Chain A
Amino acid sequence: MSNQTINVQKELLRQPSTIALVGNPNTGKSTIFNALTGLRQKIANYPGITVERKMGTTIINGVLHKIIDLPGAYSLNHKKADERITYETLIGSYDHEEKPDLLLMVVDASNLERNLFLASQVMDLQIPMLMVLTMSDIADERGIRIQSQQLSKVWGVPVISINARSKQCDVQIKQALVEQGVATPKPFQWNPSKPLRQAVERLDKEWLSEHTQLPERARPIEALRLLAEGSLEDSFYQYSEEGKAKKLIEELQNTLEAQGENPTAAEVVQRYRFIGDSSEGSVTKEQRDEQTWTDRLDNVLTHRVAGPVIFVLVLLVMFQSIFSWATPFMDMIDMLFIEFGAFVGSSLPAGLLNSLLVDGIIAGLGGVVIFLPQIIFLFLFIYFLEGTGYMARAAFVMDGFMTKVGLHGRSVVPLMSGFACAIPGIMATRTIENWRDRLITIMILPFMACSARLPVYAVMIAAFVPDKRVIGFLTLQGLVFFGLYLFGIVMAVGSAAVMKRIFPTGKPTPFLMELPPYKWPNVSSVVIQSLERGKIFVTEAGKIIVAISIILWVLASFPTYEPTASDLADMDANGQTSEQMISTLQLNQSYAGTFGQWIEPAIEPLGFDWKIGIGLLTSFAAREVMVGTLNTIYSIEETEEQLGLIERLRSETDPETGLPKYTLATALSLMIFFAIAMQCMSTLAIVKRETNSWKWPLVMFGYMTVLAYFSAWITYEWANTFLLG
């Protein structure tokens, strides 16, 4: 093996530079990024796609540098959206990312060969780099010893070995950058065969150099990609003279084949061959027959029977804890915003501005912040379990079941989170690699009966479902409640099956999921990432939520209502406090009230009247607002809210027939409607953020409303015929 002298550069770090982290997934890359940047991160979608850009800053020797965490990649050839960004950024042709000045090439020491495959591709691009070996403790456990110095000589770049889980990993890296510096690797160190090298040179000289703007250093790797691919079909660029290129590529492929090389496989095979040969001097493997920790844990956790059982238990513990930990925080946030609203309301003169501040803006902000506890707690669990390596096992165990219904093994955790709240669930779908699987999971997730539906179900069931025993301890009320949950799941599975058929498949991405070794995650990295998710929700979805809150406030507050003398006299006569009655009348004659009247003919077949119509509009802020709106419409005293409302709903009669207006049929119809309608602006806001377009939230709103309408209609007709008829 050729031992080269390393051309170390240290002056690069004296001025502000852009440092990119490059590496395979599961190498500890994110942990390093979190350690270097802490909470000085900016995470947003790259324009037009759903891949996140992770940027942050760090200070090395008094100089502020930018750190980019490029999407984890297994190869530069591949064309998945996230790997494409890594590739385009590295070759310096991606418009939405800065060209990195130097790289931290993160390499998993326990999985050296596959990691070096990517590293060898990146090295061909001749960007100054420092190679960072992680997971050396796991390598140790397996009897793998890596001579960093030898590795450094083989590849011509400085190499350091760190423990990404230790607290000082950022210090170690900074120190290495200062003391050892970085070096620009030489291209083609992997000794490509003569025919392959000639083909690359010809493609470069005869076409790439003349007809593309690619920098010289990026042309060989692009040539290799085009030769393996055999077509320009999926190229990112509008090349000139594509006809000429196609002909040339075909000719070169034929030449390679004539020389005994498989053009599609040549690059991969030769890189791995070199990596295998070169590691002889730098890696020693002790033969160990004993089982590793990972083997022992896997025997239980991925066992055919025990595996799924344990996974269900993990989910149970996870959601029970989220529920019991998040609830006090949510109650506190709720109380704080109510108190704050009351304080602002009483310290400012009454009027429109006061109402806008209290009922529009403060209530809207409260509606954003209230989601934070659930989001942060869920992500603490997810990032922790992901960091241990268990999440990949859960996906492995569940994949067989989930593919049966058109989903992915990784869909389970987001879907289950949907029972608490769809928003963290939708954010959690980011762990699903395949875009189509991820999209379908997002699109069906709101069918999981979230906790905001509970108040509506509770009022309706208490008011209209008879409390009688069916079998044993099961009551009819309990069964209806259970039925609604089940109904949501059935709708989800059915919709997934339909979407799997109609959504475009695009190019299928193969399912090749790595099961990383078990390890104890870096706790501060888990915390930082969870807090970042909360920040993303507040800054990106929060804007939309507050805006819609204000629109809803306008609809309920205008035109403004001024009570006439006779109105006030009526109220006195009815013995109702005027304040309640005024808010009732205000709502009834507002735009929201008009909307309710206007929509009444359309919702009459479902058994709804205009009062419920108003509720359907206002509960778009959050489903549980339905109950509050009905309270306002019926001028229910705050002190007797639930019981008062139940009584009032039962006793409401139709003025024409004198019969009860709301029946069991109405209640069932309304609950079915709430079980599937997209009555939640916050969910739509987060779908917009996660799919990076307005298209999918609109599709979601449309199909769920249509489904809800017809299901409620059928339910109403059925109940009237069979239950009440």
Chain B
Amino acid sequence: MLLSDARVQQKYEVKQIQGEELVRIMEMGLTPGSVCEVIRRAPMGYPIEIKIRGYLLSLRKKETDAVEVSPI
């Protein structure tokens, strides 16, 4: 599933990153195998705030669409 469809307060394992911006997304710590937690969504649904490697990161739809995750 995509990070865009992830549920708030649920933890996910990052499976794969796709698209043009994959290097940048991975550089921020979302490497395959890492664990992220969806913290909340902004008022209009996006951006989505996640916790990854102990810090808080927000991503817009375009970026969350590039991240494939599976729930743990």
Contacts and interface: CB of A to CB of B under 8 A. Distances in A.
Contacts of A43: none
Contacts of A268: 23, 26-27, 31
A217 interface: no
A513 B58 contact: yes
A717 interface: no
Nearest to A308: B43
A723 B27 CA distance: 62
A513 B27 contact: no
A403 B43 CA distance: 12
A397 B49 CA distance: 10
B25 A512 contact: yes
A510 B25 contact: yes
Interface residues of B, number: 34
Nearest to A511: B60
Nearest to A295: B39
Interface stretch (A45-53, A74-82, A92-100, A527-535): A74-82
Given A74-B28, A400-B42, A114 B53 contact: yes
Interface string B49-60: 100011111111
A265 B16 CA distance: 10
B29 to A, nearest CB: 5
B55 to A, nearest CB: 4
A268 B27 CA distance: 6
A515 B25 contact: no
A113 interface: yes
A296 interface: no
A111 B46 contact: no
B65 to A, nearest CB: 11
A401 interface: yes
Contacts of A142: 54
A269 interface: yes
B28 to A, nearest CB: 5
Contact of A265 (B22, B29, B49, B56): B22
Nearest to A513: B58
Contact of B44 (A113, A269, A401): A401
A516 B28 CA distance: 14
A269 B24 CA distance: 12
Contacts of A75: 24, 27
B29 A272 contact: yes
Nearest to A142: B54
B27 A117 contact: yes
Contacts of A514: 55-58
A264 B23 contact: yes
Contacts of A468: none
A396 B31 CA distance: 23
A554 interface: no
Contacts of B25: 510, 512
B42 A399 contact: yes
B16 to A, nearest CB: 10
A78 B20 CA distance: 12
Contacts of B41: 304
Given A397-B43, A399-B42, A512-B63, A77 B23 contact: yes
A302 interface: yes
Contact of B46 (A264, A392, A399): A399
Nearest to B44: A400
Given A78-B27, A515-B56, A397 B22 contact: no
Nearest to B41: A304
A396 B49 contact: yes
Given A510-B21, A510-B25, A514-B55, A403 B32 contact: no
B47 A510 contact: no
Nearest to B54: A111
A114 B28 contact: yes
Nearest to A229: B23
A268 B19 CA distance: 16
Contacts of A269: 26, 31-32
A401 B47 CA distance: 11
A307 B43 contact: yes
A304 B23 CA distance: 31
Contacts of A111: 53-55
Given A114-B55, A515-B58, A302 B40 contact: yes
A404 interface: yes
Interface string A92-132: 00000000000000000011111001000000000000000
B62 interface: yes
B43 A401 contact: yes
A400 B58 CA distance: 12
A370 interface: no
Contacts of B32: 265, 269
Contacts of B40: 298, 302
Contacts of B44: 399-401, 404
Interface string B5-30: 00000000000010011111111110
Given A114-B29, A510-B25, A396 B47 contact: yes
5 contacts: A114-B28, A294-B56, A302-B40, A308-B43, A399-B58
Given A111-B53, A304-B43, A308-B43, 8 more contacts: A74-B24, A75-B27, A142-B54, A399-B60, A400-B46, A510-B21, A511-B47, A515-B58
Interface of A: 74-75, 77-78, 110-114, 117, 142, 144, 228, 264-265, 268-269, 272, 294, 298, 302, 304-305, 307-308, 392, 396-397, 399-401, 403-404, 409, 508, 510-517
